[in-house]
Amino acid sequence: MKIVIVGAGEVGFHIASRLALENKDVVVIDANPEALKRLSENIDVQTITGSGSNPAILEAAGIRQAEIMLAVTDSDEVNLVACLMADTLSPTTKKLSRLRAAGFDSYHDAFKINAPHIDTVINPEIEVVRTIERLMRVPGAVDVVEFADGRIKFVGVYIEPDSRLAGVRLSNLSSIIKENRPLITALVRDDRLIIPKGHDHLRSGDLVYFTSEEKNLFKHLSIFDKFVTPIKRVLIVGGGQIGYRLARRLEDQSFSCKVIEKRATRCDFLAEKLDRTVVLHGDGSDQSLLVEENIHDTDLVVTLTSDEETNILVSLLAKRLGAKKTITQINKFSYFPLMTTIGIEQVVSPRQSAINSILQHIRRGKVLSTISIKGEVGEVMEALAMPTSDIVSKPLKKIAFPKGSMVAGIIRKEAIIIPRGDSIIEPDDRIIIFATRKAIPGVEKILAVKLEYF
Whether residue 283 is found in the same domain as residue 377: no
Domain that residue 363 falls in:
353-452
CATH of the domain at 167: 3.30.70.1450
Does 41 fall in a domain? yes
Does 158 fall in a domain? yes
Whether residue 112 is found in the same domain as residue 150: no
Tally of structural domains, the chain: 4
Q: Nearest CA to 431 among 386, 391, 383, 390?
A: 383
| Per-residue model confidence (pLDDT) at position 449 | 41
Whether residue 27 is found in the same domain as residue 6: yes
Does 228 fall in a domain? no
Whether residue 190 is found in the same domain as residue 252: no
Does 335 fall in a domain? yes
139: left (phi over 0), alpha (psi -120 to 50) or beta: beta
Sheet holding 152-158, edge to edge: 143-147, 152-158, 207-213, 183-189, 192-194
pLDDT by 10s per residue, the chain, length 454: 899 999 999 889 988 988 887 778 999 999 999 999 999 999 989 999 999 999 999 999 999 999 999 999 999 999 999 999 999 999 999 999 999 888 898 888 889 888 788 999 999 899 899 999 999 988 788 888 888 878 888 899 999 888 889 999 988 888 888 777 788 888 888 878 888 888 889 999 899 999 888 888 988 998 888 887 789 999 999 999 999 999 999 999 989 999 999 999 999 999 999 999 999 999 999 999 999 999 999 999 999 999 999 999 999 999 999 999 999 999 887 888 788 889 898 999 988 888 888 877 776 556 677 777 765 667 888 888 877 776 788 888 888 888 888 888 899 988 888 888 889 989 888 888 888 878 887 777 776 544 343 3
Using DSSP bridges, classify how beta strands 152-158 and 143-147 pair: parallel, antiparallel or unpaired: antiparallel
Whether residue 397 is found in the same domain as residue 448: yes
In order of 68, 157, 200, 205, the CA distances from 434 in angstroms are 24, 16, 18, 21
Which residue type sits at 217? L
Whether residue 194 is found in the same domain as residue 115: no
> Which residue, of 88, 122, 156, is where some domain finishes?
122
Does 76 fall in a domain? yes
Whether residue 427 is found in the same domain as residue 359: yes
Does 135 fall in a domain? yes
Does 202 fall in a domain? yes
In order of 14, 73, 203, 337, 409, the CA distances from 332 in angstroms are 11, 16, 28, 11, 32
Strand boundaries in 308-436, DSSP class E: 326-329, 347-348, 367-372, 378-384, 405-412, 415-417, 430-436
Whether residue 340 is found in the same domain as residue 382: no
| Per-residue model confidence (pLDDT) at position 340 | 82
Whether residue 400 is found in the same domain as residue 426: yes
Whether residue 331 is found in the same domain as residue 400: no
| Per-residue model confidence (pLDDT) at position 139 | 74
3-state SS class at 407 = strand
Contacts of 102 (CB under 8 A, 6+ apart): 125, 241, 245
Whether residue 6 is found in the same domain as residue 113: yes
> Which residue, of 122, 155, 172, is where some domain finishes?
122
Rg (CA), the chain: 23
Whether residue 135 is found in the same domain as residue 113: no
State if pTM tops 0.85: no
Distance from C-alpha of 170 to C-alpha of 194, rounded to nearest angstrom: 13
3-state SS class at 30 = strand
Backbone angles phi, psi at 101, to 5 degrees: -65, 135
Task: Report the greatest alpha carbon distance in the chain.
Answer: 66
CATH of the domain at 91: 3.40.50.720
| Per-residue model confidence (pLDDT) at position 376 | 61
